[in-house]
């Protein structure tokens, strides 16, 4: 048996035995965390028509995940502020590795792989220094931490790989927190959210700050189209008497920034949960679980408003938008709803 194991290990190391890919787990289109009726938590794969392709137990509530671009492997992040992330083999459901945030840090619930899948990047809070950090982990070496660099702001939440695959865009929410005070926001009067474009080597390419009128709009979640258009969803931290837009669009190449007027503080109860953008950059969708609202825009003009209880997850497909809710609904672009006995958590992650 020992010789057989050594032989197989040698074959794997030499790359002679193919490793499982997403096709081996039903070719899911998305990942989503959720909660089952018995109170347990899971990470699931969802196919393009909304059926579950796999279900893996999690030790606690998940937030988002990162899908390996090739292998059937996912990193599930704890709900912020979390100090662990779990690397899962989606073919077996087994834990392959566990990421622990360094001392004085916690994760913010999001991460993304490099285009080749060799590196994982994670948003983190260096809470004693009140600064954001991007952690770098080597997936080829059981996710060993191999570096870090500044996120370019405070409170980095979501991050995405830009289409050229050489740099990231980071949603620096601008909010300072510390574990000693829980989720208390410590710097609202002085907060400065930004979009930061940073190379995989940590070099900042550009940083886009909101003006004074919008600076209490915490930039939280991102979606990107192939033409470098970045849609960003925000959460308002100011006086609710104001009614500012919560959905913005920026294009680094064109140097333009704009807002979609329909997704407002009042209508969305100050809170956007997720955002998605079509491949051509023209159609946008955003959700607010607090208000139970899904909105669809075309060229930043509001085209449809749908009331859906506890709606949050949304992603773009070629034929429209794919949506999930905390009530168990899965709505593919066809509109043929499915209901699963799972309360879907905040985010859908496209594979």
If you average pLDDT over residues 109-119, what whole number do you get?
97
Instruction: Return the pLDDT at 5.
Output: 41
If you average pLDDT over residues 205-219, what whole number do you get?
94
Confidence of residue 196 (pLDDT cuts 50, 70, 90): very high
Query: How does pLDDT run across 141-160, given as a tens digit for each residue?
Result: 999 999 999 999 999 999 99
Query: How does pLDDT run across 55-79, given as a tens digit for each residue?
Result: 999 998 988 999 999 999 999 998 8
DSSP letters spanning 59-127: SS-EEEEEE-SSBSEEEEEESSSBSEEEEEETTT--EEEEEEPPTTEEEEEEEEE-TTSSEEEEEEEET
Confidence of residue 15 (pLDDT cuts 50, 70, 90): low
d(CA 218, CA 80): 15
Q: pLDDT > 90: what percent of the chain?
A: 84
If you average pLDDT over residues 125-136, what whole number do you get?
95
Query: How does pLDDT run across 117-126, given as a tens digit for each residue?
Result: 999 999 999 9
Lowest mean pLDDT: which of 103-117, 172-186, 260-274?
172-186
Instruction: Return the pLDDT at 27.
Output: 95
If you average pLDDT over residues 127-148, what whole number do you get?
96
User: The pTM is what?
Assistant: 0.93
Q: Look-up: residue for tokens 């991102």? A: 222
Confidence of residue 80 (pLDDT cuts 50, 70, 90): low
Instruction: Find the DSSP H helices in the chain.
Output: 2-13
pLDDT at 16 over 70: no
How big is the CA angle at 174 (ends 233 and 217), to the nearest 5 degrees?
40
Instruction: Return the pLDDT at 14.
Output: 55
């Amino acid at each position: 048996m020992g010789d057989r194991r050594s032989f197989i290990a040698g074959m794997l190391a030499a790359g002679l035995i193919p490793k499982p890919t997403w096709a081996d787990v039903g070719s899911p289109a998305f990942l989503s965390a959720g909660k089952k009726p018995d109170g347990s938590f899971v990470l699931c794969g969802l196919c393009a028509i909304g059926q579950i392709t796999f279900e893996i137990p999690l030790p606690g509530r998940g937030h988002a995940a990162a899908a390996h671009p090739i292998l059937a492997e996912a990193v599930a992040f704890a709900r912020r502020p979390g100090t662990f992330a779990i690397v899962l083999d989606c073919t077996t459901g087994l834990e392959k590795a566990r990421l622990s945030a360094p001392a004085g840090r916690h994760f913010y619930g999001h991460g993304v792989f490099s285009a080749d899948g060799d590196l994982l990047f994670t948003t983190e809070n260096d809470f004693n220094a009140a600064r954001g950090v991007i952690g770098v982990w080597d997936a080829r070496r059981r996710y060993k931490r191999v570096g870090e660099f500044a996120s370019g702001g405070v409170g980095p939440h979501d991050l995405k790989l830009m289409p050229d695959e050489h740099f990231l865009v980071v949603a620096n929410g601008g909010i300072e927190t510390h574990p000693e005070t829980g989720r208390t926001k410590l710097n609202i009067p002085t907060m400065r959210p930004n979009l930061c474009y940073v190379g995989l080597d940590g070099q900042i390419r550009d940083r886009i700050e909101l003006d004074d009128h919008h600076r209490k709009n915490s930039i939280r979640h991102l979606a990107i189209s192939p033409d470098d258009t970045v849609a960003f969803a925000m959460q308002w931290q100011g006086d609710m008497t104001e009614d500012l837009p919560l959905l913005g669009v920026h294009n680094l190449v064109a140097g333009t920034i704009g807002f979609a007027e329909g997704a407002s503080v009042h209508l969305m109860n100050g809170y956007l949960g997720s955002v998605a953008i079509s491949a051509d950059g023209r159609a946008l969708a955003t959700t607010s679980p607090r208000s139970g609202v899904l909105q669809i825009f075309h060229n930043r003009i509001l085209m449809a408003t749908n009331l859906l209880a506890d709606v949050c997850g949304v992603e773009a497909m070629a034929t429209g938008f794919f949506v999930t809710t905390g009530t168990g609904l899965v709505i593919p672009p066809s509109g043929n709803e499915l209901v699963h006995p799972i309360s879907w958590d905040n985010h859908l992650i496209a594979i």
